[in-house]
Structures are given as structure tokens and as C-alpha cells.
Structure 1
């Protein structure tokens, strides 16, 4: 009888311990992420939101940090909003002149078509903006819809808060300070990602187009996707500033919607700013955080 009671007591205590450990999974994940970023000479913001469930965490989630090329996510939403309003059509041809293709900036389109092209459709050039992060084509499309103010207004009207878009790529390239003109909090980015997935920002056709285009992103292989299992669906948009002469990195960024093996999804936004760490350290921070989040969400789903 005593042996039976001891066994029952042990089971009860183990059950209580497990329950206690699972009472605040958000805090557990925050603790793990804080271990990764501890001691780094950088400002790091992270937000994680389950799409289907209520799970969410953030570290510095309300701090607005420079976006760099992540702002092309906002630009794409503004462009597709014009498509939904029948002001533009994904099949219409977009004229890209040689004069639009500036040197000394990242531009796969320029490398392929150094003299420009009038034969590419809006859908095709928009893929250069999102999937390949082309700076020149981004500015062509921003001009097409009336400037960065339209990008800001579009997202404002969609209920997205705590962000600012006021500079195109050309302006950001004028000087180091201008890299800080386009900003967002990671909580704001995750809000936009979740609303995109839920169909609250764009029509179904436009949502599907943008999600597919983000899944085809070729940049940032050393960031959010780096340590995830092969063939994990990751719809993401990256951003990076490089370093100035003092060794400062204004931004190393990645945002994504990731699909778990069980078919559920989560939004994750990681912004690193004002970092004196090496590029390798910055990108590995993003990769380490991403893998930690992925593994943790799988673990709690299995319980």
C-alpha cells in the first residue's frame, strides 16, 4: 500500500511540475532568445506570432528600427492594392528605361537588361522587387504609384501602425543617415504579416501572388531560413545596410511567415540595428533565433 501511495505521489508531483513548466511557454521562449542575444553590441528586436493560435512574444517589439529593403514588403502591398483597385494590372507592360537603372546599387534587373526593357509585365518586375530585392525596380514602381507617401497611406488605411515609409532607394543611398528614414517595429511587421496571411490586406489573388513571391525569395539564405529543415516553406523579405567606415551596421533584417510540419503558421520579424558585431555574427543571430523559435513551437505543439 505504501509503495502504491509513493508511486501515485510521484506521478502527481511530476504532473504538477510539467504543468508549472508549461504554464508560460511565452516566457520560456523569451528566456531562450535572451540567452542568444545577451552581450551583443547591437539593438535587437524580435516578434513571434502564431497565425492560427494566440501564442505571441516580443523582445523590444515596439521599438521602431530601420527597415532597409524590408520596406519593399510595404511597397509590394501598396502596388497590389492598386491592382485590387483596378488602377494597375499585373499583366500590363512596365517601361524600364536605361536611365532608371543606376549603377552602385543592387539590381539584378540591370545586370540582366543593362539597356532597360519595355517587355516585362508588372507581375514580372514586382518579383524582382520582392524575391530578388532589386533597388532600381523598387524605385520605378514607387514612382508608378505616386511616391512613398502612397505606400505610407495605403498601410495606414489598412490599420498598420508604428511604421514610417518616406524614402525610396535612391534617397536611402544618398547618405548613411537616410538609411534610418524608413522604420518599423517588429510588432507592426508581424501585424502586417498576419493580416496578409488572413486576407485582411489584399484580395485573395493578390495575397496568393505576394505569398508565392515571398516564398521564392533568393536573398538572405544565411538568415531566417539558414538552420530550418530543408524544404520548410518560408515566405520572407530581407534587408541589410552593410557597414560604414566605423564598422557600424545600420540594419540586418528578415521577416517571414513560416509553415510548421503540422500545417500551422507563424509570423516572425527580426530587426538588428546599430550593430558593431560582424556581418557573420549578425546573420547568425537571426538564424539562431529563427531555429530556436521553430524548434520551440514544434515542441509545444506536440505536448
Structure 2
């Protein structure tokens, strides 16, 4: 049986759920007994079937009830607006808790920009080595390491491929927004999402206008320099900022359902969204990401592969509008799980958010281990009677 990491900050009932998943292949009876022995209320176990089966026509297997129970329990125990979705790329099943609500994506939306760029590459409209020069007019706000390389007059000479790497592995806002303009703006990304039938995945107006609107501002070019955005935001009356923040959380223009994101990632892995070359490039780039080391990645065991994209929104009065991580978790045997954990609004501290994400990964790993063990036992049993 494989080992996995379970965050210590979780309550005993939740920890016991994940541990039981690792120890039991058959699951449900053992789970109920273990939960009752701690005095905890037994959660309702719901194995949620996929809303749309894999496009490959494969047979969809039932979702593991223990994993469904664990995910449900994790979401119920977390104080915040949360959605979690897990889809098996190989077996087609889907598990979600709160996975149909549209939650703020923030930088998770960089995935759809990258896919739109690579789709244009597949169509022969651009190449990764195409040159691009960034100027000071391209500078946005918040996290943008590339802004320090842009010089007055000469700008910064780069390529489409470098911008993609920076947008995905560093979550660079300026790199991403320049790619967004290259492919035709938000409308082009929305068209890609619609054309590919990705479902409940929205795309906002671009980083500048999205963040300005969330803060209660209208974007001005001066906000990109000399801390202009933060100074303008801090000058707003508290009531205006709170109203804008609440509007964003209630109806985020970049909102997406975790279940739709997990399904899209599963389709990506199966080769249903891009060419084989672009699929390999994107997943490989996601696996080299430098962000969110203590989010989902924090519980990925040795020997497993993980490619992901994080997203983090603005803070106000102790609340965060969007704290996310979505990705593809690949077991040593090659079996893959698409995972989306999105926290749309919460007062919980960062370690608690990370612990939630890590517990989801730990539970998926434990379920995989128990399933693999059961399969081995069945195979060995068949051979012994052969």
C-alpha cells in the first residue's frame, strides 16, 4: 500500500476518513463504524456520476463511495464558500461537493488563455518562437516579474513560448495579458471555451479591469506604476470597497465551476482539446510550475507527478475572494485524476486552506492505493485458481 501525507491540522473525523480510505478496499461499512466510534456524525455518502461521460466512449465506472464521503466531509467542515471536484481520467467517474457553483478563478483562468494560444498554434496561426516586444504599456498589476525586464524605449524582446512559460509557471499577469491580446482578447478565449464545450467556465475582461472592478475602481493607466493601484484602492471609502468585493464574490465575471474545470483537465489529458504535441507541452509546463508549493502539491507523494495552476484573489477585511488550485495528479502506474479545489470566499487562514487542499490529494492517493491493492488481490486470486 502506498503512503501519503495527511495534514495534522485536520479534525479527527476527517483524518480518520482519509486513513480508512487507505486501509479499506471495500470501504463503506468500515467507514461508518470508524466514524461512529469517534462520536462523529456519519456523513451522507454520495457517489456522483459524471455529468458528461468521457468523449472517448469508455465505460464509466462507479465513483468510490469512500472518496465521495471524504470530499463531502472536508467541504462541510470548512468555513467558507468552497467547491471541490475530482474526476478519474481513466475510469470517467466524477465526485464533487459544491462543484457546480461558479467561483472566482483568478489566475486559474490563465489555463484557458494558454489553451487558446496553443489552439492557434495547432491551427498554424502562430509559433512558440514568434518574437514579441513588451513595452511599458503592457505592464499590468500585482504579480508580474517580467515587468522588471521592460526598459523605457527598448522594451523587452521575448517570444510567445517564454510568455507562456512565465504565465503558467510564475503566474505572471503581464505575460498573460500580452498573450490574451495576441490571440484576440477575452472574446477569443470565450470562443475557445464554447467551441470545445467546456461548460460552466467563464472568462473575465483581463487582469486590469477584473482587479479594478473587484476593488471598486475603474482602471486607469497610471495604476500600473508607482503603486498607483494600491494607493487608489486604499483611498476608497470602506463601504465602497466592501460593496464591490461582495458583488465580485456573488457573481464573479471570471467564475467557473470546479466540476467543469476538472472535466476540462481530464479532456486535456485524454487529448481531446489540443494536438498531441500541444497537450504534452501544456501538461509539462504545468508540472514545472513554481507557485502554490503548499497547496495541492504539498501532499503529492514521491513517485507521483503533478501539473497545476493556482489562483489567488484580493483580500479585504480578512476575507479572500478566490484561493484555488487545479491540476492533474498522475500516479506511478500512469492513472490520472483531475482535481479542482476552489475557495471562493473565506476568513480561514492560509494554513487551513492549504490543509484542505492537501487533504483532498491525500484522499485521492489513498483511494488509488486501496483500489490498486484490491485489483492485485483479485488478480492473484484468479491466478491461484487458474
Flag structure 1 segments of 5+ consecutive residues without an equivalent. 1-16
Normalised to the residue count of structure 2, the TM-score between the two structures is 0.69
CA distance in 2: counterparts of 1:75 and 1:233, whole angstroms: 23
CA distance in 2: counterparts of 1:224 and 1:164, whole angstroms: 23
Shift of 1:205: 1.3
CA distance in 2: counterparts of 1:154 and 1:220, whole angstroms: 27
Q: Residue 129 of structure 1 aligns with which residue?
A: 167
**2:224 matches 1:187:** no
CA distance in 2: counterparts of 1:111 and 1:278, whole angstroms: 31
Q: 1:112 to 1:301 in 2, by over 3 A?
A: farther
Q: Which runs of structure 2 are paired with 1:268-287 in the superposition (5 Å)?
A: 268-287=339-358
**CA RMSD across the alignment:** 2.2
CA distance in 1: counterparts of 2:295 and 2:148, whole angstroms: 25
Contact 1:252 1:283 in 2 (8 A): no
Q: Residue 241 of structure 1 aligns with which residue?
A: 313
Q: Residue 69 of structure 1 aligns with which residue?
A: 107
Contact 2:295 2:358 in 1 (8 A): yes
Q: Which runs of structure 2 are paired with 1:168-207 in the superposition (5 Å)?
A: 168-176=206-214, 177=244, 180-207=252-279
SS of 2:77 mapped into structure 1: coil
CA distance in 2: counterparts of 1:229 and 1:112, whole angstroms: 36
Q: Residue 111 of structure 1 aligns with which residue?
A: 148
Partner of residue 47 from structure 1, selected from 78, 85, 92: 85
Partner of residue 33 from structure 1, selected from 56, 67, 71: 71
Q: Residue 148 of structure 1 aligns with which residue?
A: 186
Count of aligned positions = 285
CA distance in 1: counterparts of 2:27 and 2:184, whole angstroms: 55
Q: 1:189 to 1:18 in 2, by over 3 A?
A: closer
SS of 2:162 mapped into structure 1: helix
Partner of residue 282 from structure 2, selected from 205, 210, 214: 210
Partner of residue 296 from structure 1, selected from 367, 370, 373: 367
CA distance in 1: counterparts of 2:92 and 2:284, whole angstroms: 25
